[in-house]
């Protein structure tokens, strides 16, 4: 396991976690967390990445989160249930206000994302979620106003 914290050099993004399947960045200028899934993941990889994301979200007290799921594939039913549970736990303790989800054009992935969002929002304080096909669009939405 490789965990790195890299100070910014002419950049506003600090690497918090770099694995071959996920990277987590802290955009210090916009005070947002960026999670990029880099390939389809195994269950234990997904859960580790999500647990670390939750830890960083709480540790930095961030209000904005971007999750790029384009390369991740579709979650198993077990992972969907686990994600809903940990999301409710973490978001309830967090300052999250805005969540941008970058999804692929895969209908099943989009449907899964939207179903999980509805389930989590039933049990957490309000946060706004928007879906995008391009990461830059999500960052623009998160950083406006």
CATH code of 40's domain: 3.30.750.24
Residue 8 located in a structural domain = no
Residue 38 located in a structural domain = yes
For the stretch 32-66, pLDDT in tens is 999 999 999 999 999 999 999 999 999 999 999 99
Residue 7 located in a structural domain = no
Domain count within the chain: 1
In the chain, alpha helices (H)? 43-60, 77-93, 107-121, 135-143
Q: Which domain holds residue 118?
A: 13-143
For the stretch 67-97, pLDDT in tens is 999 888 778 889 888 888 888 889 899 999 9
Residue 83 located in a structural domain = yes
Model confidence pTM above 0.85: no
């Amino acid at each position: 396991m490789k965990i790195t914290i890299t100070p910014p050099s002419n950049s506003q993004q600090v690497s918090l976690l770099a694995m071959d399947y996920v990277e987590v960045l802290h955009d210090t200028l916009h005070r947002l967390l960026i999670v990029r899934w880099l390939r389809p993941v195994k269950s234990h990889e997904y859960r580790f990445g999500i647990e670390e994301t939750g830890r960083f979200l709480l540790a930095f007290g961030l209000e904005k989160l971007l999750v790029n799921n384009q390369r991740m594939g579709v979650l198993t039913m077990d992972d969907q249930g686990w994600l809903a549970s940990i999301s409710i736990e973490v978001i309830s303790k967090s300052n999250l206000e805005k969540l941008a989800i970058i999804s692929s054009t895969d209908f099943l992935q989009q449907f899964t994302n939207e179903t999980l969002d509805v389930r989590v929002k039933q049990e957490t304080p309000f946060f706004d979620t928007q879906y995008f096909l391009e990461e830059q669009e999500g960052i623009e939405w998160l950083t406006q106003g």
